[in-house]
Amino acid sequence: MASPISQKLEDKLQCSICLELFRVPVTLPCGHNFCERCIDNHRNRQEQTANGAGGGYTCPECRYICERHLELKKNVTLSDVVELARAGRGRVEGCEVRHVGLCPLHGRPLELYCEDEQRCICCVCSMRQCQRHRKALFEEEHAKKQALLERSLEEAQRETERMEQHSGPHGLPFLQDSSERLRAVILSKFTHLEEALAKFREQMVAKVEQEELVALGHIEKDWNMLKDHLEALGQHRDRAQCLLNCTDHQAFLEVPSVHPKSHIPMSLLSPDHRNLTFDPDTANKYLELSWGQRRAKHGPSAAVGWQERSRRFEPWQVLCVQSYEQGRHYWEVTISSHSVVLGVTYSEIPRHKVMGCKFNIGLDNGSWGLQVREDSYLARHNGEAEKIQLRLYTELGICLDYDQGLLSFYGLGERVQLIHSFHAFFTKPLFPVFWLCEGRTVTLCHRDCGEPEGELGQ
């Protein structure tokens, strides 16, 4: 019979709320177990948050909705198993576990050995500090180390016999021959190493020269755009000055007005506008999509009745249906507030969460993103982030010039503001991608479309 503190039972005997051994365990209709006091406190907190609403409460593990007045009964079998674990019975397959002392942290008998930390631990250490570590019983670890020690002694004995055999005057030719062979091996390895370093140096120099050419091309393009921008500003200034100097009121009023945005290259963007739609098969379960798939909102009600799909994101992300390669493309979005990430990615972007990160946009070399923070922006790519201190916009435009390897983000308001541009070499179709924090909304702006947006779907 397996020990109550063995690896297979540790997770089953722990309450996921208090992270302690169960105390009076009760079972919800969904099958998950919790301490009676822990689930009562959880239920009371949800009822207080809902201002006494009668909608019940959710399971902390799977969000199953339980009835408000559901009577929970003690799990007698599970309670007995927990008591056995708490009593610290140390028999495994009929053999007594040999204790080596008490745990200095918890005062319990040291019954296991943590292979990751290489120290003896008690059952509480096993469930707290070393829950995900590799552990072994004393007998197994003792037998393993004993076998290693015996092999070490055998190897030492063989080495001693070999050295005694070749020691003395008769062993000198053997040592000289071994030295010559070792010298030849070392020289050969250094020769190969020098050849490899020379080849690597040539490759790195060629790569730097190629990247220099690409960077110079981007700089030349940006300089040409800047010259066009300055020329447009000069024309706008000259026209405005002429109008201000005009004394003919009729001519002044009949001259077509110049829009303040005319000095910004929006004329280069507008003809390339694309109408996007969200891909529901990729949307995280907490993202509500409108019936027209043009608006996404982060809300808890979306998880009710959701269906598992292989392409669905585990982070709070969603892709668009459309993808682009070759040519120029431009789209606009409206965000409700900060704590949003928008960008583009290859289709291979991971669907699972990355440890320590809320999103995976811009964490690898296959995605580029702009994170809208409360007081600034962060441009993210390949795990690196560049802080941009500009005013925050709720309307943003994204311009993708695939052939030139240029991705730009603009703030849209009374005037257009360039926030950041990425320079890259794109090799695969790019999908627009978004991440939304709780309560945030992202709307895809459509043009020349008479179809109503509709309400958010459940």
**Is the domain of 71 the same as that of 96?**
yes
Domain end among 238, 263, 288? 263
Whole-number average pLDDT of the chain: 81
Regarding predicted confidence, which is higher, 12 or 60? Answer: 60
Please report whether residue 125 resides in a domain. yes
Q: How confident is the model at residue 92 (pLDDT cuts 50, 70, 90)?
A: very low
Question: For residue range 320-363, what is the model confidence (pLDDT) as tens digits?
Answer: 999 999 999 999 999 999 999 999 999 999 999 989 999 999 99
Give yes or no: residues 429 and 371 share one domain: yes
- Domain of 94? 7-138
- Per DSSP, the three-state class of 369 is strand
pLDDT at 304: 63
Same domain, 325 and 206: no
pTM attached to this predicted model: 0.44
pLDDT of residue 450: 42
Band (440; pLDDT cuts 50, 70, 90): very high
Per-residue pLDDT, 15? 87
In a domain, 173, yes or no: no
- Separation of alpha carbons 112 and 85, rounded Å: 14
Q: Taking residues 156-167, what's their average pLDDT?
A: 71
Whole-number pLDDT of residue 253: 63
Q: Which region among 11-20, 169-178, 415-424 has the lowest average model confidence (pLDDT)?
A: 169-178
Residue 87 belongs to a domain with what CATH number? 3.30.40.10
Question: What pLDDT is attached to residue 248?
Answer: 62
Q: Calculate mean pLDDT across residues 165-187.
A: 73
Tell me which of 198-207, 265-274, 286-295 is least confident: 265-274
Res 211 pLDDT > 50: yes
Are residue 381 and residue 356 in the same domain, yes or no?
yes
Give the integer Cα–Cα distance in Å for 326 and 428: 10
* Domain presence at residue 146: no
Looking at the structure, tell me whether residues 132 and 54 fall in a common domain: yes
* Predicted local confidence at residue 305, as pLDDT: 61
CA 290 to centroid of chain Cα atoms:
26
Query: Does residue 69 lie within any of the structural domains?
Result: yes
pLDDT at 457 (0 to 100): 38
Report pLDDT for 87: 65
Determine, yes or no, domain membership for 39.
Answer: yes
Sign of the torsion formed by the C-alpha atoms of 412, 418, 420 and 425: positive
Same domain, 390 and 339: yes
Domain count, the chain: 3
Residue 176 inside a domain? The answer is no
Q: Answer yes or no: is 186 within a domain.
A: yes
Q: Is the pLDDT of residue 263 over 50?
A: no
One domain, residues 289 and 437: yes
* Predicted pLDDT at 257: 47
Give the separation between CA 72 and CA 415, rounded to whole angstroms. 61
Identify whether residues 242 and 345 lie together within a single domain.
no
Q: 273-314 pLDDT, tens per residue?
A: 999 999 999 999 999 999 999 999 998 776 666 667 778 999
pLDDT at residue 389 greater than cutoff 70? yes
Comparison of pLDDT for 382 and 56, the residue scoring more: 382
End residue of a domain, out of 78, 113, 138: 138
Statement to judge: residues 288 and 430 lie in one domain:
yes
User: Are the beta carbons of 35 and 23 closer than 8 angstroms?
Assistant: yes
Mark whether 239 and 102 lie in a shared domain. Answer: no
pLDDT digits (tens, 9 = 90+) for 362-372: 999 999 999 99
Give the 3-state secondary structure of residue 86.
Answer: helix
Q: Residues 116, 189: one domain?
A: no
Distance between CA atoms of 341 and 350, rounded to whole angstroms? 16
pLDDT recorded at residue 93: 41
> What is the rounded distance in angstroms from the CA atom of residue 421 to the CA atom of residue 156?
64
Is there a single domain that holds both residue 283 and residue 409? Answer: yes
Last residue of a domain, one of 263, 296, 321: 263
Question: What does the block give as tokens for 434?
Answer: 């978004």
